[in-house]
Amino acid sequence: MWEGLGLQVFLMCLGAMLCSVVAASVPLEHSHRHRLSLHRHRERTGKEGQVLHRSKRGWVWNQFFVIEEYTGPDPVLVGRLHSDVDAGDGNCKYILSGEGAGTIFVIDDKTGNIHATKTLDREEQAQYTLTAQAVDRDTNKPLEPPSEFIVKVQDINDNPPEFLHGPYYARVPEMSNVGTSVMQVTATDADDPTYGNSARLVYSILQGQPYFSVEPQTGIIRTALPNMDREARQEYDVVIQAKDMGGHMGGLSGTTEVKITLTDVNDNPPKFPQSVYAMSVSEDKVSGEEVGRLKAKDPDLGENGLVSYRFIEGDGMTVFEITTDTDTREGVIKLRKPVDFETKRAYTLRVEASNTHLDPRFIAWGPYKDTATVKVMVEDADEPPAFMATSYSFEVEENSPDGSVVGRVHAKDTDVANNPVRYMIPRYTDVEQFFSVGPEDGIIKTTRPLDRETLPWHNISVSATEIGGHHQDTKVRVNIKVKDVNDNAPEFATQNEILVCRLTTNPLRMQLIETVSAVDKDEMVHRQYFHFSIAPEAVNNQNFSLKDNRDSTASIYVTRRGFSRMTQDVYFLPIEINDNGIPPMSSTNTLTIRVCSCDSKDTILSCNVEPYILPAGLSTGALIAILACIVILLAIVVLFVALRRQKKEPLIVFEEEDIRENIITYDDEGGGEEDTEAFDIATLQNPDGANGFLPRKDIKPELQYPMRPGGRPVANSVDVDDFIKTRINDADNDPTAPPYDSIQIYGYEGRGSIAGSLSSLESVTTDSDLDYDYLQSWGPRFKKLADLYGTKDFADDNS
């Protein structure tokens, strides 16, 4: 890439030196000519003495150039400044300012020579703007106005071309024509495109021939070979080079990789790997089951490789069908209908595979299809027996005796072995076991008489199982119809009462009151009807008559003008009905006729009989009043009993009184400690008692409240305060305690008490001998007691 760089640097350094000499001499010549022209101009002005002109600076230059990347040992002379006012005596001082002044560019203040002290890079900064001025060395006063000039960095070929977007990826269809554009690559060069050939690039291909080529000036990659096949090779790695200096020797270069992928087109037909395929199917397979698969290979991708299959000929086209598995691209052969080994044992089919999407550019390369032969062998299977019919229908008369033959079913083993068959009726199809079947002959018989009116149809199944094989069975549906026999007598269609007025307003003697009809559970044959007549025992009645209408109905007439409800309010008319069947059946049915009260328009008012049967002494209103009084009395009794049950018990129970829980008034003075008949002294002195818990007696608890263990001090406890707090806590937490205060009496203050016993039973002195002043020091608990006794003493002293 950097080939010839040393030679190029040497030539460029030589050119820089020549340019520096020329640049240094140019200001001097220009200045000399300028001085001359400026001197003549001043002379002409002095002679005329009338025209004034603007004063111009006495030195001028164009622009300076310095070559980039110079690496010599001495600073590069950029140029020399000189002014007309500089007499050479050293009083003129040159100063430099602007971009890089003092760091990159320095000036000799005596001679005006400008040097570059650092290596410059044009790609970093292409030019520098500087300002020069001549001043008096002693006073630093300007001798000339400041002048601005430019130092341009002259470019050299020091940057190779670069592909900024590489590596590249491209796609082109396979079988493309020569010269088909693949893509365009572009390189960039940081060198100055306006100076020389440093940035003029030329493209070439280093890798990828002879398949691809690249245009030298544009970088467009094109195909170079015809009929490139993706199935043979899909990817190509191409290396493109970009070289500056117009591609000549000494130029710098850069490369990039281009990965080119051939895309697929439909240029390959499907092809079966073999011409004949052998398959087999068992005869016990059902429709829709798979027989086998075959696949035609197509190396194309996507929709270009899609293949469809079809049968084009063969003796099994109606027995088999073929579909395409879209996932595996296989042809799937399935059964269209079952096969039978005993009928046909082999089938031959011709299968065609073809592409579904064709490319018009490659139609001439066709045909895009292939064929293969499929031979399907039918395998023998141990099949269940087969009935001669898909279903059977038989008839049997009802009431036939058990063992009557209904019909016969027949099945046989279709296998080559032709094993015998055994018959049976599954119990779930004939739960009540109306029928039986001969296990060997298949004859179906009844096991009991059948009733058509109860169940006119019986739907059962008969199974046939081969004997000696795999005990496979098959079932067939048997429908048995029970034929009707005239075994049911006719009867009235409805059993409603007939209402007739007590007195009729019809002047005719016979009045139609009802038309009756009949029904029969048996089937009615064509032109069969019911015959009605009055039963022989009622033929001579004088109240009603019957007329048979010969259409399975009969009219009932009243033969009298009025009835007496007091005498008889209900009449029963027996009617005989005959069905005229074979054999004929008849029955006698009773028609109920009730006499009612009617108005003048024969509208029925009442058919009740109560007014005629109630006792004369009590009316309905009286009975209702009596019942109401009885109900009120019962309600009062129930209310009284309920109120008595809700009455509360008395709060104080007198049955089991405890002297410790209540205030007891005595009329006489006790006998002291020696009196042991009134009460138990030991109990008073030890309130804990023998059981450890004494219940409250001022109320009657509703539930038993158990004593909490460890909550109460023992009898000989000396801490009265703890004892009282314990009893108060028990009373507060007692769920049976009342919400009001009660008097608690404690007869035992404990041993070692400072106060001693307060009971008079243990006193050995009189009241006058006791000094109660110490009660004042016992605290607020005994304040009331101290006040009582202190007041008494004060009263005694006053007396």
Any residues with CB less than 8 A from the CB of 798 and at least 6 apart, and which?
none
User: Count of CB atoms within 10 A of residue 194's CB?
Assistant: 8
**Cα–Cα distance, 133 to 83 (Å, whole number):** 9
> DSSP assignment of 88-154, as one string?
SSS-EEEEEEETTBTTTEEE-TTT-EEEE-S---TTT-SEEEEEEEEEETTT--BSS--EEEEEEEE
Instruction: Give the residue among 244, 197, 221, 183 at the shortest CA–CA distance from 3.
Output: 244
Please give the structure tokens belonging to residue 580. Answer: 């005229």
Q: Provide block-wise average pLDDT over 10 residues at a time, the chain (799 residues).
A: 36 44 35 30 36 44 74 81 80 88 86 86 84 88 88 82 92 92 92 80 93 94 92 93 87 93 91 95 91 93 90 93 92 93 91 90 85 93 87 93 94 82 93 94 94 92 85 90 88 86 67 89 80 90 89 89 82 90 87 87 74 53 88 92 71 47 53 52 48 49 48 53 83 68 54 54 50 75 77 48
Write the burial class of residue 507 (CB in 10 Å: 0-12 exposed, 13-18 middle, 19+ buried): exposed
- Quote the pLDDT of residue 158: 80
> What's this model's pTM, rounded to 2 decimal places?
0.43
Instruction: Give the residue among 151, 147, 146, 102 at the shortest CA–CA distance from 125.
Output: 151
- Quote the pLDDT of residue 744: 56
- Quote the pLDDT of residue 41: 31
Q: What are phi and psi of 56, to 5 degrees?
A: -110, 155
Domains of the chain and CATH, by start? 63-154 (2.60.40.60), 162-263 (2.60.40.60), 276-379 (2.60.40.60), 386-483 (2.60.40.60), 491-606 (2.60.40.60)
Per residue, the 3-state secondary structure of 174-240, as one string, reads CCCCCCCEEEECCCECCCCCCCCCCCCCEEEEEECCCCEEECCCCCEEEECCCCCCCCCCCEEEEEE
- Quote the pLDDT of residue 575: 92
- Quote the pLDDT of residue 630: 93
**Cα–Cα distance, 413 to 388 (Å, whole number):** 11
- Quote the pLDDT of residue 23: 37
**Cα–Cα distance, 425 to 430 (Å, whole number):** 7
Q: Are 182 and 221 in contact (CB under 8 A)?
A: yes
Residue 540 corresponds to which amino acid? N
